[in-house]
Amino acid sequence: MALLFARSLRLCRWGAKRLGVASTEAQRGVSFKLEEKTAHSSLALFRGDTGVKYGLVGLEPTKVALNVERFREWAVVLADTAVTSGRHYWEVTVKRSQQFRIGVADVDMSRDSCIGVDDRSWVFTYAQRKWYTMLANEKAPIEGIGQPEKVGLLLEYEAQKLSLVDVSQVSVVHTLQTDFRGPVVPAFALWDGELLTHSGLEVPPGL
């Protein structure tokens, strides 16, 4: 009986991984890579699809595979693993970028939109040397954080919260109240420089 149970548990975990849905086993958060088929043509992935860089010209449209998943108007890329429950934490290293957005979005958000513009994505944006929350194209300033080289995001699905974390202090800077109605994925947009993601991390003690 114990052997049968263990085999069934392994199959369930394998199935969740195959579907690209994060399981909540142990305390480790969602592990993801960036999904190339969603990346706008101005973006290039690197370091095993965990980083994204912006190119002023971008790739020629003829050299980019056509598919309905790709963002067509804005420099956005989504992660390849959806979250439907649990608490998850990941970090983002910022390199030479002065304008970017990080957060989560519905898996089926419009590919003609940008994260933060519609009401199915929840993001923190950095622009003009300041941080803001952004939802449905409405921005609100965030105080108490400059331009660190690395920031964290804490997603609490059942509590309907997304928090920006100061990695150096291991403290929450600001929390967005969300309205999740289905699977969401980590989401990124940038207009210069590079972003490098670090996922599969445990939620830091105290958060």
pLDDT digits (tens, 9 = 90+) for 193-204: 999 999 999 999
pLDDT at residue 19 above 70? Answer: no
| Domains, the chain | 34-199 (2.60.120.920)
Q: What is the pLDDT of residue 63?
A: 54
pLDDT in tens, 33-51: 999 999 999 999 999 999 9
Amino acid type, 201: L
With CA atoms as reference, report the closest residue to 187 among 40, 23, 28, 19.
40
Specify whether the CB–CB gap between 53 and 43 falls below 8 A. Answer: yes
Provide the pLDDT confidence category of residue 21 given band limits of 50, 70 and 90: low
Task: Give residue-wise pLDDT tens across range 105-141.
Answer: 999 999 999 999 999 999 999 998 999 999 999 999 9
- pLDDT reported for residue 7: 38
- 0.75 surpassed by pTM: yes
